[in-house]
Structure 1
Amino acid sequence: MTDSNAPRRRAPGMSTEQRREMIVQTALPLVAEYGSNVTTAQIARAAGIGEATIFRVFADKEELIQACIARALDPTQLIDHLETISLEQPLADRLLEAAEAVQGHFGRMGAVLGSLAATGRPLQRTPPTAEDGRRVRRDESQAATKTAIADLFQPDQAQLRVPAPAAAEVFLGFMFARGRSPLTADVEAADLVDLFLHGALK
């Protein structure tokens, strides 16, 4: 039997970083749907919090949108997925799983950036400089993604015509081109992997 007069223990509150993370995760699909027209009121309702809570961890809507852009571009989730792909599978199966993960990442990225551009907020591109930390992080992310893909090729290096890192770079080029060309947008991932491995000839 419990004591109804005993003081209730409150659940531990979120840290600032945890709350920012929760808000960004909630905001991402809304930004993908509404672009720059999304409101902080919509995001607050979806997150089940008061709108004022957003402004306790973000200076304004612009800072929140910037955080959403950074998350859409961040390949951490993709790399984590690639690193869990079993090397015991045949190479074609490994690459099919990788292709679907890469396309999922590109799709999420394209949805957010495309929606923002469609609502009048094109990405601001500035020439990279030696002090540009964003360029450094982007280069590091791209290198980490290529390394994770190259690791999938490594068990079959003896059968490859090129070193595994080169095969990984070409494979990623295939995936990137698929999302940008209407001629390949409807090609199934399995067919694209087969084309990559065996060429265009029947």
Structure 2
Amino acid sequence: MTEARRRRSPAMSADKRRAAIVDAALPLLAEHGATVTTRQIALAADVAEGTLFRVFPDKEAILRACVGALLDTGAVTAEIRALPADAALADRLTDAAELFLAHFERAGQLMHALVTTGQDLRELDPDDDPGSARTAYFREMRAALAEATGTEAAALRIEPEELAAMLLGQLMGLHLDQDQDRRNAVRRRIDVLLRGALARHEEDDDG
């Protein structure tokens, strides 16, 4: 497609245009990291290169918006909160954990691509307070996982938020080990969190 045809693309609001450019740029980051060019982004977004700079001041601003999109938990936490409330607690937490892992690992892969191509992620923090976006990411994920306990929360020995924090800790270690059946590995950790690591004996039940 020529530059002239791209310039005739349908008009969008600045916010929608920014979102479309970010959506187009994200897959390129996985492939090229920080070496991605604005020309490549423009081609993927099907716009003229000059259009990028009407909604973003420079390439770094585009990368910063991409990092912000990676750390946006809105869609994944909505999926977690939409899990069937009538499912068994272990099943619901397993599904929620898998949703978190898929989101976290996609973000991690793209962040890794940026770092390995020389980008300092501190320069791309979407907030003025360094690290605050990442803190908010885990806080929002923890809250969604806590809500996934549903009505069974009343039967827990600890607060749902504490259980969610423990589960996140387990999952953060799990994502580093790719040589295992992911769902069974998640379920096993959840089973230990819910039931404990010690084997129960008949006399325990009788007592």
User: TM-score, normalised on structure 1?
Assistant: 0.80
- 1:67-91 Cα distance to aligned partner (Å, 9 max, x none): 1111112222221211211211111
Q: Write the distance in 1 (CA, Å) between the matches of 2:73 and 2:60.
A: 22
1:157 aligns with 2:142: no
Q: Deviations over 1:86-119 (max 9, x none)?
A: 2111112211211111111111211111001111
**Number of residues of Structure 1 aligned to a counterpart in Structure 2:** 186
Partner of 2:75: 77
CA distance in 2, matches of 1:65, 1:136: 17
**Which amino acid is the alignment partner of residue 148 of structure 2?**
L
Runs of 5+ unmatched residues, structure 1: 1-9, 126-130
Match of residue 194, structure 1, among 168, 174, 188? 188
Equivalent-residue separation in structure 1 for 2:145 and 2:112 (angstroms): 26
SS of equivalent to 1:103: helix
TM-score (norm 2): 0.79
What is the aligned-residue RMSD (CA, Å)? 2.6
Matched, 1:168 2:164: yes
Give 1:154 deviation, angstroms.
Answer: 3.4
Q: 2:76·2:100 contact (CA, 8 Å) conserved in 1? A: yes
Residue pair 2:101, 2:171 contacting (<8 A) in 1 also: yes
Note if contact 1:98-1:149 (Cα within 8 Å) is conserved in structure 2. yes
Pairing partner for 2:22 from 24, 28, 31: 24
Residues 134 and 117 of structure 1: is their aligned pair in 2 closer, same or farther, counting only changes over 3 Å? closer
- Per the TM alignment, residue 145 of structure 1 is displaced from its structure 2 partner at its CA by 2.1
Q: Distance in 2 between matches of 1:137 and 1:117?
A: 17
Instruction: State the distance in 1 between where 2:189 and 2:137 align.
Output: 27
The alpha carbon displacement at 1:185 in A equals 5.8
- The offset of 1:32, in angstroms, is 1.5
Structure 2: gaps of 5 or more residues: 1-7, 200-207
2:5 is matched with none
Which residue is equivalent to 1:3?
none
